[in-house]
Amino acid sequence: MDIKDYFFLIFMDQEYILIPHSHLDALEKLAIDTLPNESCAILLGKGSSTKPVVEYILPMNNSSHSSIEFTIDADDLYHAYNKARLMNLDIISIFHSHPSQPIPSDMDKIFMLINPVVWIIYSTSSRSFKAFIFDNLDQIQEISILPIKD
C-alpha cells in the first residue's frame, strides 16, 4: 500500500475491504470459468485486523449447480474452516457471482444474516464487484472494495 492509499483510508468513513489485484483477477476468472452457474469462494484474512485484507482464496464448489443460487456443502465448509485454522487466518468474506447485477438476492440476504462477514458479489454481465455487510441496524450496507498491490 502506498502513502496515497493510506490517506485515502483515513478520510474515508465507511467500511472497506482490501484485496490484492491478483486475488480480484482470480475471483473474476473463477466466475467466468464457472458460467453459466454461479461461482463461490471463501476469502481468508485476519479477522481481528482493523484493515481487513484478503490474504487467501479458497474456491468452493457450488453444489446447487445453478445460475440463480449457490450452496456450499457442509463438508466443504468444514474443510475451509480447518484450512483457515491451520493457516492462522479467519474467514473474512464470502464471495459469489451473479449472471445479473451484483446486488444481494432475497436468498443472499437471509444467508448474510446468518454469516455476518463481508459479502462480495461479482457480476459476470457488468464485470464489476460490489461488497456488502449488515451494519449495526441490521441493514445491508454497501462497502468499498479497495484493490491493493500484491
Residues that bind Zn ion (CB under 5 A): 105, 108
When the beta carbons of 61 and 105 are compared against Zn ion, the nearer one is 105
In the complex, minimum distance from the CB of residue 108 to Zn ion, in angstroms, rounded to a whole number:
4
In the complex, minimum distance from the CB of residue 139 to Zn ion, in angstroms, rounded to a whole number:
18
In the complex, minimum distance from the CB of residue 119 to Zn ion, in angstroms, rounded to a whole number:
8
Query: Do residues 15 and 143 make contact, with C-beta atoms less than 8 angstroms apart?
Result: yes
Residue 149 has a CB neighbour count (10 Å cut-off) of 9
When the beta carbons of 90 and 108 are compared against Zn ion, the nearer one is 108
Q: How far is CA 37 from CA 24, 25, 30, 100, in A?
A: 19, 18, 11, 12
When the beta carbons of 55 and 132 are compared against Zn ion, the nearer one is 132
In the complex, minimum distance from the CB of residue 50 to Zn ion, in angstroms, rounded to a whole number:
28
Query: If residue 34 lies in a helix (H) or strand (E), which one and from where to where?
Result: helix 21-34
When the beta carbons of 80 and 95 are compared against Zn ion, the nearer one is 95
Query: Dihedral, CA atoms, 68, 73, 76, 80, nearest 10 degrees?
Result: 70
Nearest position to Zn ion, beta carbon = 108
